[in-house]
Amino acid sequence: MSKHKPISFDELLKDLQGQKTIHEKPNHINIQELFNESFMIKHSSFKSFEEFVENGNFQVKTIEDVGNIPDELFDRHVDRKTDFSNWKSMLETANMEYAKR
């Protein structure tokens, strides 16, 4: 059984925007798999990562849009709406939980 490489923030952004394909990186973790319904319900009041992002009024339609979101705003949203204090800890926990499956 092969281990999946943890997803980076840049890869996550590309995936959210539909700009990543399975052909680009065979071991790429799909965003829906990484932040699955179980994970989101366990750590937030949302059923999906998309719902979580939309709740913060973050526009993730283009790389430019995502790149323009200040880190501290996204960290604040994560802190207020999840069990995590910042985005990095949320992403790391999602990667660890995914690796256990």
What pLDDT is attached to residue 28? 58
The one-letter amino acid code at 40 reads M
Query: Residue 73 and residue 56: Cα distance in Å, rounded?
Result: 9
Maximum alpha-carbon separation in the chain: 39
Query: Which tokens belong to 36?
Result: 């699955």
pLDDT tens for residues 1-56? 555 666 777 777 777 766 544 444 545 566 778 889 999 999 999 999 889 889 99
* Residue 96 falls inside a structural domain: yes
pLDDT of 30: 67
Whether 53 maps to a domain, the answer reads yes
Which single residue is written with the structure tokens 């319900």? 41
Q: In this model, does residue 84 exceed pLDDT 90?
A: yes
Cα(86)–Cα(34) distance, rounded to whole angstroms?
A: 17
Is 2 contained in some domain? Answer: no
Q: What are phi and psi of 59, to 5 degrees?
A: -90, 115
Higher pLDDT, 63 or 70: 70
Q: Is residue 82 part of a domain?
A: yes
What is the pTM for the complete model shown? 0.67
Q: How many domains does the chain have?
A: 1
Residue 3 lies in a domain: no
For 79, the domain range is 9-21+29-100
Say how far residue 30 (Cα) sits from the centre of its chain: 10
Tokens 């952004």 correspond to what residue? Answer: 13
Whether 90 is covered by a domain: the verdict is yes
